[in-house]
Amino acid sequence: MLNHFDRQAEWLLKVGYPEMMGISDGQFCAKLAPLRSRLTLAEPVERRGNIPLCIAFREGVVGIADAMSRIQARSANGIVDMTPLSPADFHVLYELEIPTGEFYLLLDVDTGRDSLNVSPENALAAIRGQGRTPLTLAEGVALTAQVPELLTNGKDYNCIQMPGSRKPSDQRVPSIWFSKGAPRLGWCWDRNIHTWLGSASAACRLGATSPTMGGPPAMPA
């Protein structure tokens, strides 16, 4: 698992996350070091998803538009197109516990191939029923940054919706797909179905000090 972590950390350095945060490469690596150490102590969890782990960032650590601009697929950089809303209008569901610290891990991530042709509303109920956790808007951006193939490789992945973030009293669900020649962060209605959009989830979140879900520290087997 450490090889996945190290590859992702190197990618974040390469695409300029330290610059986005206004810190040096060394300071950035120091922020990730405790998380790497925590991962070495994690117990295995059952592997259900198609991505072993993802380094995620807390909302506000980097600008969402900046992070999207670092995502590239088919030689095009990502954009935000959420009119009439913006990423700031979406908030993490009250039930989700996000680890403290600027960075944390998503373990056993699933892009949601089983939820293709299933509305986000129904997919969220299924995710909860499986004891998994839905990805948030920021987590979806972090995942796409690490695995941009999910936008174009329909055999192994799928474009994603993030039902873990919502605008109160609104039916829009943040989503990332490839549209009009570029990776796009937008939204879709929670009762609509799509052949190419699945609701992304993870087994759990793991912070540098403790996991947020019940049971022992865990990582995919």
> Residue 115: which residues within 8 A CB-CB, separation 6 or more?
122, 123, 126, 198, 199
d(CA 14, CA 16): 6
Q: Phi and psi for 189 in degrees, rounded to 5?
A: -75, 145
Q: pLDDT tier at 218 (50, 70, 90 boundaries)?
A: very low
AA letter at 214: G
Residues facing 185 on adjacent strands: 80, 176
Mean pLDDT of 94-118: 95
24-28, 38-42, 120-124: the lowest-pLDDT one: 38-42
What's the confidence (pLDDT) of residue 216? 35
Rounded-to-integer distance, Cα 19 and Cα 13, Å: 9
Total domains, the chain: 1
Domain assignment of residue 196, given as a range: 2-220
* Mean per-residue pLDDT over the chain, rounded: 92
Overall average pLDDT of the 64-87 stretch:
96
Across residues 100-117, what is the average pLDDT? 95
